[in-house]
Amino acid sequence: MSVKAFELVPAVERELLMGDKARINIECIECCGKHLYVGTNDCFIHHFLLEEHATTKGMLSYTVQKLLFRYLGLKKPVEALKAASALERIIVLCDATVSVVDMITLEPVPSGGAKIKGVAAFCVNENPVNGDPFCVEIGVISARRRTVQIYMVYEDRVQLVKEVNTPEQPCAVSLDGYFLCLALSTQYMILNYSTGAAQDLFPYDSEERKPIVKRIGREEFLLAAPGGLGMFANAEGISQRAPVNWSESVMGAAVCFPYVVALDEGFVTVHSMLDQQLKQTLSFRDGHILQDFEGKVVLASTKAVYVLVPLPLERQIQELLAGHRVEEALTLTEGARRNIPKDKFQILHKRILQQAGFIQFGQLQFLEAKEHFRTGQLDVRELISLYPLLLPASSSFTRCHPPLHEFADLNHLAQGDQEKVQRCKRFLITYLGEVRSTEGANGCREDVDTALLKLYAEQDHESLLDLLASPNACLLAESAPWLEKHHKYFALGLLYHYNGQDSAALQLWVRVVNGDLQDSTRSDLYEYVVDFLSFCSNPDLVWKYADWALQRDQTIGVQIFTRRPVGQDQVKEQKDQVKEQKDQVKEQKDQVKDQVNPDDVITYLGKHSQALLLYLEHLVLGRRIQKEKLHTHLAVQYTDRVLSLLSQSPTADQQVSLARDKLQLLLRESSLYRVQLLLGKIQEYDQLFLERATLHGKLEEHDKALHILVHQLKDFPAAEAYCVRGSASRDPAYQQRLLHLLLGVYLDRDLPSSTGTGELEMAAVDLLNRHGELFDAVRVLDLLPEGWSLQLLRPFLGRALRGSMHACRTSQVALGLARSENLQLQHDRLKQRRSPVLVSEKKGCVLCHNTFSEPDCVCLPGGVPVHTHCAAQRVVRDSPTRRQLANSNNHT
């Protein structure tokens, strides 16, 4: 999983450093900005100036100028160099002594107090705890004792601050704040020199390999662990990163985020700190120094110095993407967040996510691609543009430059694999359906919805109708030809309707229903058109297509009118109910313009008898419009239907029965039709005796109605039910009158009848026994034949007697209550008369506040006098006060 992260660039060649002196070796290096310092084994310090410049290929190279070299005069190798730029000093370790030299002249500081002797190694605290900017804090390993000493280095002196004992002789040290990371003889440890707290890390053998203790960040260190591992540890002794797996013979390490660079005997290896994977390997012989200086990684052999120049992160990421290594590219991008300005990083991150999404899209990894497109805020038209002809011709979109992917279009991506093409189209349908209502579609809603419509139509997708039936931004000019091409005429009609072209929609749907166009989207398209017309706000369109609908099916076609608002009558009725709601009334007035008048509909339906009947039923029975004209018209239609069926030969009994049931129900329930008109139409038909009886009842000709029921139809239960139904909402006297009429019909022997006398007498007996309490017993006894036995009339007589006694006792109770109330009123009157009521011309009435001009008055409870006419008005307003008023004579 390699990636080119660094290039090895020569910095100081052998000839420039040592000329022809073959025994001179490099012992240490230090870099501060453009200044490079090299310590050699012959006790010299060499000072070089490194100038960076770019080559024609865009790579970095260095021009080196040797400024100065200085012999320290100790005849020992220079073991370590550390720059203190704030002091313009170089801290030098040579011959177990730390001294300070001038950074420019390399001359030793003249003061003798700027030396530390007996030093095995030292390090600079890059996170100093001392706030003085003009001193440098260093940690020193004593060569003679098991101690670490903390010094403050000034321009001309050094000062011991702290000395810390260690359990073993330290070999290497790194310092961050108060924390010392030490490599002892057999283990690593973390030591807080302020508190003395120590934390053992893990063991190692310093005799087998050189220890590495490298500070890589605030309170975090990199250590060479057994097994060829590079371990990370923080100040608490915890490893928060996974280790990197490098060579057993590592002799140096450096960090250039997000990479860890390690040097062994023959190679330089580069590992990622993000995923711990080996990213690059460089061959490098005789190397023995590897250090990083403020992001610059410097590498040295014994004879020359090189710089590991990192390639720009964006170039590395693009190389990973070019190799379709998406996860690595994204990991590297996330890791680069802290090294790139926030605004620039956001732009870079979005683009990388979009590129990663297209790579995974090309690999048919649609879930991952969708997530990257969303997170990267991809302009969805970048994806749509891959699909030929989906973007509208009017779209102003142009693809991103440089391009986000390598595909010309979907055909190039699929390479002729139609299954792959179909999978990509299904993905786009899903993706567009999700993003069309989000911010991702802002500014391009027309392009998105039009593309989605084309895909739905092409794929015969079930969501096409949902798209068109909901708010959408589909372009009509682009969508209509596409829908026609795929025979989606119903959907095209919906699109016309959404764009306010109802006439075009209806014309198209009618052609489909008639079979001129083929579209199997809806098998019930005729019913849909009828429903559409019933809610159409354009009356001209309703009249235009109503005849077509009625010719196909009157039962369904009439729904155009039965499902519509009633029109003027209903709106007037609604206005009466909402007089105080002015806004609603105004809205209803506006709607009246688009409504169809019922009278016009009835006239129009004259040539469609079945539809007319259904429409009248809708108005009278459904909407319950109380108009004599409509009720009479419906009753006449029912009557004509019955008479028509009766005139057929043979007669359809079931149809006749259903038709008569409807007619009888209307005749019973309605009181608005013209009775004489209907009676004249059915007078000559003996089959319609029941209807004639109902009509006579409407005319209050109850004797004729009962005569028909008893003598013509011989239907005694119907006659009895007639009386009960006819008096349902009337007073008891009316009910009693009807029952006496029926009893009279039963007992009248003067009228000719085909019914036997015995049957009529039994019917009379049954009537009396069932409703005895409702009859006037005296009148009944006068009517009854003398030969009837009391045993036969026993139930009637029992009920009549109980009823009479109940009425008598009820009257007695009422009389007693009235007497009691009268007695109480007399008592109250006497009490009022016992005490005088004083009125005068100076005293006013409490109700009208006018004075009394005459002695007549009325007393309210409490003896308060008021005018008699004021008391009368109060009684009218508040009837309960009637009992509280009492007339009183004025006593002077």
Question: How many CB atoms within 10 Å of residue 84?
Answer: 20
Rounded Cα distance between 222 and 520, Å, is 72
Q: What's the pLDDT score for residue 751?
A: 58
Q: What's the pLDDT score for residue 776?
A: 84
Query: Cβ contacts of residue 845 below 8 Å, gap of 6+?
Result: 851, 852, 865, 866, 867, 870
Query: Cβ contacts of residue 487 below 8 Å, gap of 6+?
Result: 517, 518, 519
Q: Considering just the CA atoms, what is the radius of gyration of the chain in Å?
A: 56
Q: What's the pLDDT score for residue 638?
A: 93
Q: What is the mean pLDDT of each run of 10 residues along the chain (892 residues)?
A: 81 80 87 92 91 76 88 89 90 92 88 83 90 89 91 89 91 92 92 91 84 90 90 89 88 88 90 86 89 88 89 83 87 80 90 93 94 93 94 92 91 92 94 87 89 94 93 94 95 95 96 94 94 92 94 94 66 47 49 70 92 94 93 94 87 88 92 92 88 90 89 89 87 88 82 67 86 83 81 84 87 94 87 75 86 84 84 70 39 33
Spatial strand order of the sheet with 60-71 comes to 26-32, 35-40, 44-54, 60-71
Tell me which amino acid residue 7 is. E
Rounded Cα distance between 111 and 853, Å, is 133
Q: What's the pLDDT score for residue 883?
A: 41
Q: Check: CB of residue 259 under 8 Å from CB of residue 273.
A: yes
Secondary structure class of 552 (helix, strand, coil):
helix
Query: Cβ contacts of residue 883 below 8 Å, gap of 6+?
Result: none
Could you tell me which of 510, 599, 590 has the C-alpha nearest to residue 561? 599
Q: What's the pLDDT score for residue 888?
A: 38
Tokens of 100: 């300070």
Spatial strand order of the sheet with 158-165 comes to 119-124, 136-142, 147-153, 158-165
Rounded Cα distance between 35 and 47, Å, is 7
Spatial strand order of the sheet with 296-301 comes to 6-12, 305-310, 296-301, 287-293
Q: What's the pLDDT score for residue 566?
A: 57
